[in-house]
C-alpha cells in the first residue's frame, strides 16, 4: 500500500502516469477509426516514418523541446503518408508494398541520422534514441503539457466531427453523394491519427507506437457493437495500458517503456479475444458445445425412430452398436442415451438395447426428419 | 438549349458523358434524357460501365468530359433532390453500428455540419424501416442482417433522404424473394408519388415487368427510352454481343455468364 501511495504522490511518477494516460486515451480513441477503416498498417508506417523527422528537427534547431520534435515527427509522418499515396496512385505498386517501402526507407534514414548524431561531438544529442523504444521516465512536465494540449485538441475535433467521421468510415461514397467533402475529412482524420502517434513517440517509441493504435481498438471491438462505446472503451484500454506500462518501466532504470506498454495492451487483447461476450473464443466454444449436445440428442432420437419405423411396434428395442454405426462412430451415444432416458424419451430394455417411449416418439417426430449425417455441422 | 430541355421536366439529363481510367474509356460519349416519374433500368454486360455511369453522375468519379443536369440544374445545386443506394457489397457490414443508425445517415445531408441526429431523424428512420418491412430490426447490429435485410436497410436510408430522383446500384443483387417483392412495391410507390428511380439491373427477364424506361449500355449508349421501344432483341444483341441466348420471343432473354466486356 505504501508503495502505491508513494507512486501517486511522487511528482515524477505522477507526470509519467499523466503523460501515458494522455497518449493512451488519444491513440486508443483515434486508433478505433484507423482499425475500422483498415488502416492499421498506415499507423505503423507513420510512426516509423516519424523518426527522421524527430532527428532532423533536432539537427536543424538544436532544441529538444517537445513541440519542436513533435512538429518534426508529424511533418515526416505526413510526408511519408503522402508519398505512400503517390506511390500507389502513380505506379503499379499496391498499398501494402507502398507502406512497406515508406516504412523501411524512412526508418532506415532515421536510424542512419541517429547513429551519425551519436558519433558527432555535440553533447546534448543524448536522449534522442529514447525515441526508438520510448522512455516514459524522461517525460517532463512541459512534455506532458504539450501532449495533453495536442491530444485534447485531437479528441475535441473527433467529437465535433463525430457524425462526419462515422460516415467516412462506414460509407464514404454515400457521404460524398450527400455533399460532404470526404477527401478533406479523410485528410483531417489522418492528421488526427498523426497527432495521436506523435504524442506517444517519446514515451512508447516509433517502433512500437503502432501497437497503441491497433491493439486497444481491437480489444474494444470484441466487447461492443456500438461505435461510441468502442471509442470510449478503446481510449480506456489505451490509457490503462499506457499508465501501467509507464509505471512499471519507470521502476527499473533502463527499462524501455514501449515493450512494457505493448505487453500490457497485449494482455488486454488476449483477455478480450478469449472472454468477450459474443465474439470471445470461450463464449463461442461454449455455444458450439451446447449446440453439438442438442444436435446429438436429436440425431440419436431420430435415428431410433427411423429404426423403429422398420418394425410393427415402434417401441421395438435397438442395440447400441446399431445407433453407434448410424452416428458414424462418433461416440458419446451411450452418454446421449443416458440423458434421453433422464428426460423420459427412451428406456433401457436389455444390457445394450434401448427403446423409444411414447414421449420419445412424439419428440422425435416433432424435431423433424433429421438424417444420420446432419450432425456434422455442429462438430 | 438548356431552357428547352428543362421545360419538359427531365429528372436527369446527361450529355456527352465520358469517363476514362488511365487511357481506357469506360464510358464513351453517353447521352441520357430521363423524364420524371419513371422507373429506369440501366442494363448491359459486366464491364459496360453501369456503376461508373451512376458514380459519374453523382460526382463520385471525375468524368473526362460531359455535363449532368438534375431537374435542369447542376448536381451541386440539386443535391438535396437526389438519393443514392450504393451496392450492398461496397461497405463493411461488420462495422459497429445498428440498423437505425445506418438509416439515420440518410438525414446527415439535411442536418449539415456538426449537428447530430435527434428525435425527428429517429422518427423518420423508423418510418422508413417500417416501409421496407424492417421495423423490428431497428436496434439490430448490422452484421446480423441477411443480404436482403442489408439491402432493405440501404433502401430505408435512401427513403429518409426524401429525394426526387433515386440512383440505385443493383438493388436486386442477391436478395431473397421477400426483399425482391418489397423493393418492387417500394419502387411503384415511389413512382406513384412522382419520383424517378434509376437502377442498375442485371436480370433481363424482369426488365419489362419492373421498369418502364430502360438504358442499354456497353461503354457507349446502345439505346435509351421506353422499354417497349428500346428493349428489343436487336438492341440487346448490340449491347451483349453474341453472348445472348434467347428463349421464346423478343422480351424473354437471358444472359450467359461471362465476365469479359463485349468485344
Summarised one tens digit per residue, pLDDT across range B107-135 is 998 888 988 888 989 999 999 999 888 98
Residue A5 — very low, low, confident or very high, per pLDDT cuts 50/70/90?
low
Q: Is pLDDT of B6 > 80? A: no
B102–A162: do the CB atoms touch at under 8 Å? no
Can you give the pLDDT at residue B73? Answer: 86
Q: What is the mean pLDDT of residues B210-225?
A: 88
A175–B97: do the CB atoms touch at under 8 Å? no
Q: Determine contact, residues B206/B187, Cβ cutoff 8 Å.
A: no
Can you give the pLDDT at residue A27? Answer: 94
Question: Cβ-count burial of A292 within 10 angstroms (0-12 exposed, 13-18 middle, 19+ buried)?
Answer: middle
The verdict on B61 touching A (C-beta cutoff 8 Å) is: no
The verdict on B91 touching A (C-beta cutoff 8 Å) is: yes
The minimum CA-CA distance between B232 and chain A, rounded to whole Å, is 33
B114–A226: do the CB atoms touch at under 8 Å? no
Residue B49 — very low, low, confident or very high, per pLDDT cuts 50/70/90?
confident
Q: Determine contact, residues A81/A190, Cβ cutoff 8 Å.
A: yes
A177–B108: do the CB atoms touch at under 8 Å? no
Rounded Cα distance, B208 and B215, in Å: 12
Can you give the pLDDT at residue B234? Answer: 82
Considering only CB atoms, which chain B residues are within 8 Å of A179?
Answer: 76, 79, 109
Substitution target in A165, A174, A229, A230 with the highest count of B β-carbons within 10 Å is: A174
Q: Is pLDDT of A121 > 80? A: no
Rounded Cα distance, A200 and A130, in Å: 12
A161–B114: do the CB atoms touch at under 8 Å? yes
- Which chain B residue shows the shortest CA-CA distance from A222? B96
The minimum CA-CA distance between A278 and chain B, rounded to whole Å, is 12
What is the number of CB-based contacts under 8 A between chain A and chain B?
70
A225–B98: do the CB atoms touch at under 8 Å? yes
Considering only CB atoms, which chain B residues are within 8 Å of A184?
Answer: none
The minimum CA-CA distance between B145 and chain A, rounded to whole Å, is 14
Q: Is pLDDT of A279 > 80? A: no
B92–A36: do the CB atoms touch at under 8 Å? yes
Q: What is the pLDDT of residues B92-107, one digit of tens each?
A: 999 999 999 999 999 9
- For residue B253, the cross-strand partners are B246
Can you give the pLDDT at residue A151? Answer: 94
Q: Is pLDDT of A379 > 60? A: no
Can you give the pLDDT at residue A165? Answer: 95
Q: Interface pTM (ipTM) of the complex?
A: 0.86
Give the closest residue to A159 by CA, choosing from A236, A227, A215, A217: A227
Q: Is pLDDT of B253 > 50? A: no
Say which of A175, A179, A227 has its CB closest to residue B97. A227
* pLDDT above 90 as % of chain A: 38
At CB < 8 A and 24+ separation, what contacts does A145-148 make? A146/A66, A146/A67, A146/A70, A147/A19, A147/A22, A147/A23, A147/A66, A147/A199, A148/A18, A148/A22
Say which of A161, A176, A180 has its CB closest to residue B60. A176
Q: Determine contact, residues B35/B10, Cβ cutoff 8 Å.
A: yes
A160–B117: do the CB atoms touch at under 8 Å? no
Three-class secondary structure of residue B148 per DSSP: helix
pTM equals: 0.81
- For residue B225, the cross-strand partners are B214
Residue A63 — very low, low, confident or very high, per pLDDT cuts 50/70/90?
confident
Can you give the pLDDT at residue B258? Answer: 43
Instruction: Enter the C-alpha cell of residue A21.
Output: 494516460
Q: What is the mean pLDDT of residues A11-26?
A: 87
Q: Is pLDDT of A113 > 70? A: yes
Q: What is the mean pLDDT of residues B180-205?
A: 90
Rounded Cα distance, B58 and A306, in Å: 61
The minimum CA-CA distance between B229 and chain A, rounded to whole Å, is 32
Say which of B58, B111, B115 has its CB closest to residue A177. B58
Say which of A164, A179, A224 has its CB closest to residue B96. A224
Q: Determine contact, residues A212/A238, Cβ cutoff 8 Å.
A: yes
Amino acid at each position: 500500500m505504501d508503495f502505491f501511495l508513494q507512486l501517486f504522490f511522487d511528482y515524477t511518477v505522477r507526470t509519467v502516469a499523466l503523460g501515458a494516460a494522455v497518449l493512451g486515451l488519444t491513440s486508443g480513441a483515434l486508433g478505433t477509426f484507423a482499425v475500422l477503416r483498415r488502416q492499421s498498417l498506415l499507423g505503423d508506417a507513420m510512426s516509423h516514418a516519424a523518426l527522421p523527422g524527430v532527428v532532423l528537427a533536432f539537427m536543424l534547431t538544436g532544441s529538444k523541446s517537445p513541440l519542436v520534435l513533435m512538429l518534426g515527427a508529424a511533418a515526416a509522418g505526413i510526408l511519408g503518408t503522402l508519398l505512400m499515396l503517390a506511390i500507389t496512385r502513380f505506379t503499379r505498386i499496391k498499398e501494402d508494398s507502398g507502406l512497406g517501402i515508406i516504412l523501411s526507407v524512412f526508418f532506415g534514414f532515421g536510424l542512419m541520422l541517429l547513429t551519425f548524431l551519436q558519433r558527432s561531438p555535440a553533447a546534448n544529442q543524448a536522449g534522442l534514441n529514447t525515441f526508438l523504444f520510448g522512455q516514459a521516465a524522461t517525460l517532463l512536465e512541459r512534455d506532458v503539457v504539450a501532449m495533453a494540449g495536442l491530444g485534447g485538441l485531437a479528441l475535441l475535433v473527433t467529437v465535433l466531427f463525430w457524425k462526419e467521421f462515422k460516415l467516412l468510415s462506414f460509407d464514404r461514397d454515400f457521404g460524398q453523394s450527400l455533399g460532404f467533402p470526404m477527401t478533406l475529412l479523410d485528410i483531417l482524420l489522418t492528421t488526427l491519427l498523426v497527432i495521436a502517434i506523435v504524442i506517444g513517440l517519446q514515451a512508447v517509441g516509433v517502433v512500437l507506437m503502432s501497437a497503441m493504435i491497433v491493439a486497444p481498438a481491437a480489444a474494444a471491438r470484441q466487447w461492443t457493437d456500438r461505435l461510441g462505446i468502442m471509442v470510449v472503451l478503446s481510449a480506456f484500454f489505451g490509457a490503462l495500458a499506457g499508465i501501467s506500462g509507464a509505471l512499471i518501466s519507470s521502476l527499473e532504470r533502463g527499462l524501455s517503456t514501449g515493450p512494457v506498454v505493448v505487453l500490457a495492451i497485449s494482455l488486454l487483447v488476449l483477455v478480450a479475444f478469449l472472454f468477450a461476450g459474443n465474439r470471445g473464443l470461450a463464449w463461442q466454444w461454449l455455444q458450439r458445445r451446447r449446440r453439438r449436445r442438442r444436435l446429438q440428442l436429436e440425431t440419436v432420437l431420430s435415428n431410433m425412430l427411423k429404426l423403429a419405423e422398420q418394425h410393427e411396434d415402434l417401441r421395438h428395442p435397438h442395440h447400441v452398436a446399431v445407433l453407434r454405426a448410424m452416428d458414424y462412430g462418433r461416440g458419446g451415444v451411450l452418454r446421449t442415451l443416458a440423458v434421453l432416458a433422464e428426460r423420459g424419451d427412451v428406456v433401457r430394455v436389455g444390457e445394450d438395447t434401448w427403446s423409444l417411449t411414447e414421449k420419445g416418439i412424439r419428440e422425435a417426430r416433432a424435431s423433424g426428419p433429421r438424417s444420420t449425417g446432419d450432425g456434422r455441422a455442429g462438430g | 438549349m438548356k431552357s428547352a430541355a428543362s421545360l419538359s421536366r427531365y429528372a436527369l439529363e446527361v450529355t456527352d458523358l465520358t469517363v476514362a481510367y488511365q487511357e481506357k474509356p469506360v464510358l464513351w460519349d453517353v447521352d441520357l434524357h430521363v423524364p420524371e416519374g419513371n422507373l429506369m433500368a440501366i442494363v448491359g454486360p459486366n464491364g459496360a460501365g453501369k456503376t461508373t455511369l451512376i458514380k459519374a453522375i453523382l460526382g463520385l468519379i471525375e468524368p473526362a468530359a460531359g455535363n449532368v443536369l438534375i431537374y435542369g440544374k447542376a448536381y451541386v445545386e440539386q443535391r438535396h433532390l437526389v438519393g443514392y443506394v450504393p451496392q450492398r457489397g461496397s461497405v463493411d457490414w461488420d462495422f459497429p453500428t445498428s440498423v437505425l443508425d445506418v438509416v439515420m445517415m440518410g438525414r446527415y445531408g439535411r442536418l449539415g455540419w456538426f449537428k447530430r441526429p435527434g428525435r425527428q431523424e429517429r422518427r423518420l428512420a423508423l418510418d422508413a424501416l417500417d416501409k421496407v418491412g424492417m421495423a423490428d430490426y431497428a436496434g439490430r447490429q448490422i452484421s446480423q442482417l441477411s443480404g436482403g435485410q442489408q439491402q432493405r436497410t440501404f433502401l430505408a436510408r435512401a427513403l429518409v433522404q426524401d429525394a426526387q430522383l433515386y440512383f440505385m446500384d443493383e438493388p436486386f443483387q442477391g436478395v431473397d424473394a421477400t426483399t425482391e417483392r418489397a423493393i418492387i412495391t417500394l419502387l411503384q410507390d415511389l413512382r406513384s408519388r412522382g419520383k424517378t428511380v434509376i437502377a442498375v439491373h442485371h436480370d433481363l427477364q424482369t426488365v419489362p415487368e419492373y421498369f418502364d424506361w430502360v438504358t442499354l449500355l456497353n461503354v457507349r449508349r446502345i439505346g435509351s427510352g421506353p422499354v417497349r421501344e428500346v428493349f428489343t432483341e436487336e438492341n440487346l444483341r448490340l449491347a451483349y454481343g453474341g453472348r445472348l441466348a434467347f428463349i421464346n420471343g423478343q422480351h424473354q432473354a437471358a444472359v450467359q455468364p461471362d465476365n469479359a466486356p463485349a468485344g
